[in-house]
Amino acid sequence: MKQLKNIRSIHFIGICGYIMSAAAVMLKKMGYKITGSDQDAYPPGTEMIDKAGIKWFRKYSSSNLDSPDLVVVGNHIKSDNSEAQTAIKKKLAVVSLPELIAKIFADKKRIVIAGTHGKTTTSSLIAWVLETANLNPSYLIGGIMQNTDQGFKLGKGDFFVIEGDEYRTAFFDQRPKFFHYKPDIAIFTTCEFDHPDYFESFLEVKKVFLKFLNLVPEEGLIILGVDDSDIFKIQKGVDRPKISYGLNEKAQCRGFDIEYGTPAKFKVRIGDEFLGEFKIFLPGKINIQNALAAIAVAHHLGIDIEKIQKGISSFKGVKRRFEIVGQVKGVAVIDDYAHHPTKIRKTLAAARTRYRKNKIYCIFEPHTYSRTKTLLVDYAQAFKQADEVVIAKLMPSREAGQKPSISSQEVVRAIKKYNSNVKLIPQSLKILEYLVGEVRKGDVVIIMSVGGLDNLAQKLVERLKGLDPIKGLTLKGVRLNELLAKHTTFRIGGSADLFFRAKNIQDLKKVVQAAKKLKISYFILSGGSNVLVSDKGFRGLVIKNQSSKINISGEKVEADSGVLVSRLVKSTLDKGLVGLEHFWGLPGTIGGAVHGNAHFQGKNIMKVIAKINKIDNVILSITFKLKPGDKKELWKIAKEALEYRQKTQPLNFSSAGCIFKNPDFQPAGYLIDQCGLKGEKIGKAMVSPKHANFIVNTGGATCQDVMNVIALCKKKVKEKFDIDLELEIIKMGDLE
């Protein structure tokens, strides 16, 4: 990255836009003093700016400019904006964001993603695949990547990934934004008519994209989504190295044998080379196409296939791009940015691949007069796959102040020709009240809006959950839609509706009592071992027990249930206390060990327990009665126990520990081994070659993979020994 000469302070006019907010936070991290201004702004841009501690003004005013060294003007800012006029009058240095970004990343190899649809998700996918392949890329994206909770990164690697937009750069620069980025690799996803306030015709749109592709140098590369027939035609006017991708047989990087589900599975071939099967947890055909673009880029860069597969399968998506904000009482609430009729149609089609028989409510906020009026015929037919459509008041956005040329009522009339179940509810609060009264278990609510309809998705989740009482905790700590895989030793599992870290016993008591009062299903997750989480996640509240207090008084030891076993054992060994030495190296927390009746080579942890303190059957703390012993001898026993575990257990793989309880006469591992199942693999789950009672995650395993291996072990042991193996691990969520 290049530092800006003689620049210390930068002011952003229109700071809360998706790319503008990400760039502002990025530049602050680079050491610049950042200020900004915006009006009628909304999340996630506002949240990102506030979280970064950037001072910004909620209204445009010439007084907001304190003579900064540089002024960055957003593309929606008009020439009569008071701050823009003041900056020009004072002869301050003024630039557009694309111009500024091009300067900062001029020394990087630029990967630019362009197209009418799919830019943000494809950009994020490419950035994430490069990140997981340890290429340490820089990126700037018009959305917040859920894997990183931000839309930018300042990496030390060679590559810079950026989303390229065909809309105008600024009021003083009418060129498309992506002309500034000078791509080394250009990705062209889709091509349709959009931005009728800027382009007079579809032909003009196609000419702009053709010119963009021709900016790629002769030694560069163009990656083309040829499922779009217009792209296939446009690319004929470009004499550069090309790779096509898509689902049709013309594509060089082709996806086939698609299985829609969670995750979706598909196979990929590039030319004559079969790359293998890929998984993606985003729904629908459109996201498989987005993934194919990322695969084509990564393959061209020489990234190993397994690393590409890992990057695609571990990608969580982008906020407000089919973001599942919550699943409450059987109702799925999804927030989405779709505002073009084709994207609406494709998003609903994607939803149908996941929710085939569910009732789908689609809430849509029309965006800008010009787009809505020009594409009204297409909007009319875009909602066919929704069971019920609610249209909100039109959001004029950058066309505010203009005389309205169309209304939401006209949109309703147009849609009614193709979907009779459509109604107009102008205000977001009224829509919220309507949905709370209407939705039932199994329903799906998809909210499509550029501005988020006053955070309607989040508000609906909170109302359906009845979260108001639980906010009386500290519930700054409550998170929605938290991926559970990262909280388990198996590294498997979907998202929890609610997630809370209990950092002490008081927090643990309060959150359990609140969940009980509100009748919210909850699960105590401690160290994350000995548990298998459903790919569908957990419909309720997951409490991460991180209570950590230990008190040793003579031979009496009191420990919070969230204390790690290894920490507690060390504390007792250091005091020369006998009783826990055999559990050195046991993963997880002491609460989990007690709940699971932990034992090792005939030593049972329950034999040294004096008291267990509980609430609602949840272990809060444990009191142990130990005996004095020789410290040196105790450490010797502990180290031998650890060495035995290291020698006999697959500690270099992610696992949940022993899967099955040991039957009365033979260990479960021995029985499975005698069935010849060591090394047996289904998907990415495998019976450990080291210890047959361990099923290990070889990288990217799903809960279903593990369940299939479990079923195989149970079947073979039953056939050979007539013994029914019982699970030792705890199943969490819907595993049916």
Residues 434-460 have a mean pLDDT of 90
- Domain 654-732 bears CATH identifier 3.90.78.10: yes
The predicted structure's pLDDT at residue 465 = 78
432 or 497: which leads in pLDDT: 432
Residue 484 predicted with pLDDT over 60: yes
Q: What is the mean pLDDT of residues 637-664?
A: 90
Q: Is 301 helix (H, G, I), strand (E, B) or coil?
A: coil
Q: Does pLDDT of 467 surpass 70?
A: no
User: Which among 312, 377, 358, 367 has a CA at the least distance from the CA of 340?
Assistant: 367
Q: What is the pLDDT of residue 533?
A: 94
- pLDDT of 293: 96
550-648 classified as CATH 3.30.465.10: yes
List, for residues 268-311, the tens digit of each pLDDT value. 999 999 999 999 999 889 999 999 999 999 999 999 999 999 99
Closest CA to 734 of 537, 540, 543: 537
Q: Which residue carries 């959150």 as its tokens?
A: 511
CB-CB contact of 269 with 256 (8 Å): yes
Q: Report pLDDT digits (tens) over 314-342.
A: 999 888 888 999 988 899 999 998 889 99
Q: Which CA distances in Å does 448 have to 257, 337, 520? A: 30, 5, 28
Tell me the pLDDT tens digit for each residue of 219-269: 999 999 999 889 988 888 888 999 999 999 889 999 999 999 889 999 999
Average pLDDT, integer, range 489-506:
88
**pTM of the prediction?**
0.60
Residue in the structure block whose two tokens are 């055909």: 285
Tell me what pLDDT residue 157 has: 95
Q: Please determine, for residue 436, whether its predicted confidence score (pLDDT) is greater than 90.
A: no
- Complete edge-to-edge strand list for the sheet that includes strand 609-615: 550-553, 556-560, 618-625, 609-615
Q: What is the pLDDT of residue 476?
A: 53
The domain 9-100: what is its CATH number? 3.40.50.720
Q: pLDDT at residue 571 above 50?
A: yes
Residue range 105-313, CATH number: 3.40.1190.10
Please provide the average confidence, as pLDDT, over all residues in the chain: 90
pLDDT at 399: 84
User: Which whole number is the average pLDDT over 636-655?
Assistant: 90
pLDDT at site 481: 66
Q: State residue 468's pLDDT score.
A: 40
Confidence of residue 723 (pLDDT cuts 50, 70, 90): very high
Q: In the prediction, which pLDDT does 469 show?
A: 39
Nearest of 324, 321, 350, 348 to residue 337 by alpha carbon? 321
pLDDT range class, residue 2, cuts 50, 70, 90: low
What are the sequence ranges of the domains in the chain?
A: 9-100, 105-313, 323-465, 550-648, 654-732
Tokens of 659: 């899967």
The structure tokens listed for 178 are 């992506």
With 80 as the cut, is the pLDDT of residue 734 above it?
no
670-695 average pLDDT score: 95
Instruction: Please give the pLDDT value at position 1.
Output: 56
Q: Give the helix/strand (H/E) hosting 276.
A: strand 273-280
- Give, in order, the Cα–Cα distances in Å from 421 to each of 246, 339, 390: 34, 20, 9
Q: What is the CATH number of domain 323-465?
A: 3.90.190.20
CA atoms within 13 A on the CB side of 392: 26
Helices (H), 389-427: 408-416
Report which of residues 656 and 480 the model is more confident about. 656
What mean pLDDT is predicted for residues 441-455?
91
pLDDT digits (tens, 9 = 90+) for 11-56: 999 999 888 999 999 999 999 999 999 987 877 788 888 888 899 9
Pairwise CA distance, residues 239 & 223, whole Å: 13
Q: Residue 470: its pLDDT value, please?
A: 41
Q: At what angle do helices 119-132 and 284-300 cross, to 10 degrees?
A: 40
Which residues are CB-contacts of 356 (< 8 A; sequence separation ≥ 6)? none
pLDDT of residue 196: 83
Strands 168-170 and 173-176: antiparallel
Name the amino acid, one letter, at 298.
A
Q: Mean pLDDT check: name the lowest of 1-10, 86-95, 151-160, 295-304.
A: 1-10
Report the pLDDT averaged over residues 633-637: 92
Here the tokens at position 63 are: 């007084």
Least-confidence region, from 140-144, 358-362, 599-603:
599-603
The reported pLDDT for the residue numbered 472 is 40
Q: What is the DSSP string of 436-474?
A: HHH--TT-EEEEE-SS-TTTHHHHHHHHHHT-TGGGGS-
